[in-house]
Amino acid sequence: MLHRSFTCLQALPDLSIFQFRTGREATITFQLRFTLLRSGIYDLGIEQRQSSRIFYPYLVSEDDAGQILDTVIQIIELYTEKYPGRIIRLKGSTDLQAALFRIILRTHHDLLCPLFSIDKEGGKRFFPFRRNAGDSVFLLKRRVDSHLPSHPLRASVNMRSRLFGNLVYVELHREINLGKLPFAAL
């Protein structure tokens, strides 16, 4: 899954909202929001919408699914680079979202561990390959020794992902156009 050399994102200047497109003819838009839950802990919410009225039997290919997982991880990496003291809470508000978070943490556990500590909510340690479907709330905290100087914020920023080694292009906007179609929780 670590095959892309370039990622293009849109984000608000404070990085509280990111948006990217994927799927057949880039017809699916994903939006990730970091919202304050309580002091120092931020929920990551993922919503998606289809921007095409044309029906495609397979909007997301296997490669697209891998790119979605990679992009979500890169967004968490960029956000915690700007805000290293914040804890990211991955709570599946839907079964699909909970499964997505579990898949990300299980398939990329070796990649994430050098940069993040990963725990289940309630202080329990996360073991990536235990088959417990009830695990639906995870906490990611950037490790203290993983800090690098953050990238300066401008209208657009070219960055390099430490986790994936690829370039990430982020356009910063005062607001992100949601279009006419509403986002739906993933």
In this prediction, residue 184 carries a pLDDT of: 47
Instruction: Return d(Cα 153, Cα 151) in angstroms, integer.
Output: 6
3-state secondary structure of 161: coil
pLDDT by residue for the chain (186 residues), tens digit each? 444 445 788 888 899 999 988 876 667 888 999 999 999 999 998 888 877 666 555 556 677 777 888 888 889 988 998 899 999 998 877 777 777 788 888 888 888 888 898 887 766 655 454 555 556 788 999 988 765 555 444 566 677 787 877 788 787 766 665 554 444 444
In this prediction, residue 185 carries a pLDDT of: 46
**Within-domain flag for 83:** yes
**Within-domain flag for 148:** yes
Instruction: Return d(Cα 107, Cα 114) in angstroms, integer.
Output: 15
In this prediction, residue 134 carries a pLDDT of: 58
In this prediction, residue 182 carries a pLDDT of: 46
Instruction: Return d(Cα 142, Cα 13) in angstroms, integer.
Output: 21
In this prediction, residue 160 carries a pLDDT of: 75
Please check whether residue 65 is in contact with residue 72, taking contact to mean a CB–CB distance below 8 angstroms. no
Of 39, 104, 36, 34, residue with least CA distance to 69? 104
Q: Side chain identity at 168, as an amino acid letter? A: V
Of 129, 84, 77, residue with least CA distance to 102? 129
Residue-range definition of the domain harbouring residue 44? 6-185
3-state secondary structure of 152: coil
The conformation of residue 105, written as its DSSP 8-state character, comes to: H
**Within-domain flag for 1:** no
In this prediction, residue 181 carries a pLDDT of: 42
In this prediction, residue 183 carries a pLDDT of: 47
Residue ranges of alpha helices (H) inside 83-118 are: 95-107, 109-112
3-state secondary structure of 78: helix
**Within-domain flag for 129:** yes
Number of domains, the chain: 1
